[in-house]
Structure 1
Amino acid sequence: DQDCAPGEVCDLAVQQCVTACTPENQEVVCGAGLVCDERGRCVECTRDDDCGVGLHCNTETSRCQGENSCLTSRDCLPGQVCNPQTHQCTEPPPACISDEDCAEEMVCEVKTGRCVQAGCEPDLAEPNDSPGEAEPLAAGRTDDLRLCEGDIDWFSVTLVRGDRLMVIVQTDFLASQRFQTVLFDPAAEQVLQEDSLLIDYTVDSAGDYLLRTQTLDPRADYDLIVYVSRGIPCDDDDYEPNDDFTQAAVLDAGVHTGLAVCPRDEDWFVVERSPQQRLVVTMEHPAANGQLDLDLLAGDGRTLVDRSAGAGDTEVVTAAPGARTRFFVRVYGAPETQNGYQLTIELTEER
């Protein structure tokens, strides 16, 4: 008020000086339903007589209110909330545990215990339910995405050889374990990487790579953050795909060169021998470029026969003569490791 001229007060709502009211001019300055208080401001009430039947004047707010009237939950007693429809303080509704606890056309959001509107409105990227409908993504943020029940979202990212693509999914923490993000090759035939909320992959050829998101929840709201930077491409060897024992490539005795492990990749091979033969598998690689380890497994693909996981350039595993005639060879490293290597398979007769 000190910023205003004599006979004026500051209207904080509009931050302007307005004419101060008096008991004599309040009908003109304040209008119907308002009275003038001692500060020269137009208010709803200054005493209970200014309010209707069943209401009293709250002298702190200069508003008429009933016993349980409220504007926000801060106006209510501890343990009560303000109902925005009736502006009355009430007991908070109990947390729902199923849709049966909610009103018609409402469903229970179990993780919050709140009843929310039923139905799931699609996001603006729809329809993008197939590779052919994939929504183009550029580097940066894409917000306000939504997966409804049974929905799958497809996106495409244009990359050149050596581009490192990083995709971060932001969604409700409690829902992250039921969220799936998968990166496919441009033909949508090969899974390049799969995770819940993070993709980090360097491509070895140019193309429109495909990203698929889905959830096991009835609904998931999420955002995507896309980064594209320069990485080091990794060229697969001619034995791919051989990423588990069901895809193992057959190796004969001898030296096999030009092999490679790429990030989040492992190589599997199968070797046959006679019961009288000793099997020796030697792997050579430049460990300074990324450490690789070597396993020898029985014919079931699970039972470990020998392991070599040292810090040097050479790893060796061995199987003595015996009843087992079929073995799997597994070459692997840390998730981010990429390196070239060669394998030497030696079969020696022992009697």
Structure 2
Amino acid sequence: MRHARLPLIALFLVGFGPFQCDDSAVESARGKLRTAEAQGALDALADVDDDAAEVHLARGLAHLALQQHDDAKSALDQAYRRVAELDAKLAADAVAQGREAPPLAARPTASLRARIAFARGLVAIAKEDWDTAMVEFGRVLEIDPDDEDARWNLELAWHRANPPCHKREDDHEPDDRREDAKPFDPEQAKENRLLCPGNEDWYSLEAERDAILFVTLTGELVKYEDDEAREVTLRLYGPDEDSPIREAPLVDGKATVGVTGVPTTGTWHVQIAGPGTAEVKYGLKVEVVPPCPVDDQLEENDGPASAHALQDGEQGGLKACPGDADWYKIEVPANEARQVQVAFDPERAPLEAALFDAAGENALAVATSGKGGLAINIAKAEEAQTMLVRVATTTDRENTYALKVGPPDGGGGDNQDQKDQDQQDQDQQDQDQQNQDQNQQNQPQPKEPEPQQPQEMDLDRLIDALDQHDRNPQLEKALRELGAAPQMEDY
């Protein structure tokens, strides 16, 4: 079989073709290759400078047998170039004679082209270049669909390029059981983790009492078939707990579980699992914030003089301790506005934020509450501005928070200014309407006319008048209003 033994492979690839070189040195090299004397073949070709496809092919096979893969590739590339030039010349001659160029399998170069492609495929396999190997063996099969060696090698290259999930599992395996869980490594786990169908991934981590613990899973399904699916759930287990304390499904590529205030010091476990046939490529992030008085990574920033400079973007994993305010410095370019957002869990502990001047002496604004936290808007000015932001707890409980600095949501400072102006205009309009209503109430109101009393009707006269006429609608109406007679149709 050509696919298993490289020296034997050479025997099948040095056969004669229509464009072979009859030089005695080339014949000697072929003989050396037949007896697996690769170095002897190279020695025989040392003085041959003929730019012929068969010469380059023999030299490439000798290098391949010696596992000199780069040299083999270079020689075989030259062989492919020459056979392509020959094919182009034959095609041009056919057109000149008014004939169409025959398909590859019917050309005189077909056998030589197939042998070169097969050898190039073997070099690609040796270099573990599976995509190139599939291309080359595909070329062989295009010429000879019955070449079983080429088909076997094509399938081999495909399986190596697309190994099953268990062959591609990450370096965290085995971790399919809680007792096999390995310590969480933030660098290894942050991306390119792989969850195979039917498997679970477990991680262990340490957390102190009263710490704040958050675990975030980001991932996507890797589907090879349209009907593949997977339901993935992130679960958090406390020390010696058989049931998860928190769990969350993977929705829109993300799941988060957390405990704000770890009840006991110990080892916690994270499980990623779920039914389905699809693979899941994921990353895992764990945030363990020690309890106060341990500071976060931006301390010391307890006063205006030590305020930490913030750039546009997000900063997470910050901690607010009771009696220990955090100060931040924000540089706002001229003619630009900024918004500072403070995201936190209000159930854990409420926070407050305020905007100060550059010296930290005068409070300029107090943060407004919104969905998920607080926000402070810094209006644009003609000159660059330096502002300080102070974040603090309002109770004796600690909390964690994240900061985000950037242009105001919804279109920037101009939009916020317009909102403020619209609100002022609406307030003025409401005040004007209120004053107008009050003035109207103070003016004397005209008396409404008293309702006219119906004139007394002489019932006897109406009846006499009715008797004197066959039909009088006005009289009928008057009698009906008085309830004195039925309609005329009832008589």
Give the TM-score category using the shorter length: 0.3 to 0.5
Indicate the structure with greater strand content.
Answer: 1
- TM-score of the superposed pair, with normalisation by structure 1: 0.38
Indicate the structure with greater helix content.
Answer: 2
Structure with the greater alpha carbon radius of gyration = 2
